[in-house]
Structure 1
């Protein structure tokens, strides 16, 4: 089985829409994601998942030069940023896309599917 990252990408408009949600609407969203997470676990696809703070809570570390540079926020400007993710195991890309379809519905957001690199054989 291969592992895939199901990345939930957000825009500033998405964050504004979430901030405008009532507590009841937010709880419905959390419940839908919780149900999706339980399905992933029950079917053996679950590896790990997590929600992330907004991009303004980001710190970037660059240790590629002579000195370490630590800056607030993302290194480059972006219209989208990672808001949360699942790491899953799936038989193939089609299976991962099926999970992403359900995850997108559950979290009410766009989900990017990216396979992990396979380790080279020795």
Structure 2
């Protein structure tokens, strides 16, 4: 069984949805998460704070240097993630389609290297 990362791609400049829209998205996400759990595909999911809360750590000449903010400037950022177990890419893409419907945002589906020991 492989693990796949479903990344929620969120526009950086977008305003937060209205409270009633956000409530519906949260309900849809909860249904999506319950579907994952019922199918045995659930590993982990969570939302992220905005990119301004990021700290980048890089090593230069043996010293760890920390920089506030995201590594790259962009019009979009990862707003959340979900890690799922799926037997193949087609199955993972189906979970990605369901996640896109629930979040109303684009979802990037990417496999982890190697298989997961069950």
Query: Normalized against structure 2, the TM-score is what?
Result: 0.91
- Whether the 8 Å contact between 2:12 and 2:74 is mirrored in structure 1 is no
Question: Which residue of structure 1 aligns with residue 12 of structure 2?
Answer: 12
Going by fraction, where is strand more abundant, 1 or 2?
A: 2
Question: Which residue of structure 2 aligns with residue 110 of structure 1?
Answer: 106
**Any stretches of 5+ residues in structure 1 without a counterpart?**
none
Question: Which residue of structure 1 aligns with residue 40 of structure 2?
Answer: 44
Question: Which residue of structure 2 aligns with residue 76 of structure 1?
Answer: 72
* Structure 1 range deviating more: 76-85 or 102-111: 76-85
Summarize the Cα distance change of 1:65–1:74 in structure 2 as closer, same or farther, 3 Å threshold: farther
Shift of 1:10: 1.2
Instruction: Give the match's secondary structure for 1:63.
Output: strand
Aligned length: 115
Query: RMSD of aligned C-alpha atoms?
Result: 1.3
1:57 aligns with 2:53: yes
Question: Which residue of structure 2 aligns with residue 66 of structure 1?
Answer: 62
Shift of 1:44: 0.3
Deviations 1:61-93 (A, max 9, x none): 112433221111112222321110100000100
Going by fraction, where is helix more abundant, 1 or 2?
A: 1
Instruction: Give the match's secondary structure for 1:68.
Output: strand
**Any stretches of 5+ residues in structure 2 without a counterpart?**
none
Question: Which residue of structure 1 aligns with residue 90 of structure 2?
Answer: 94
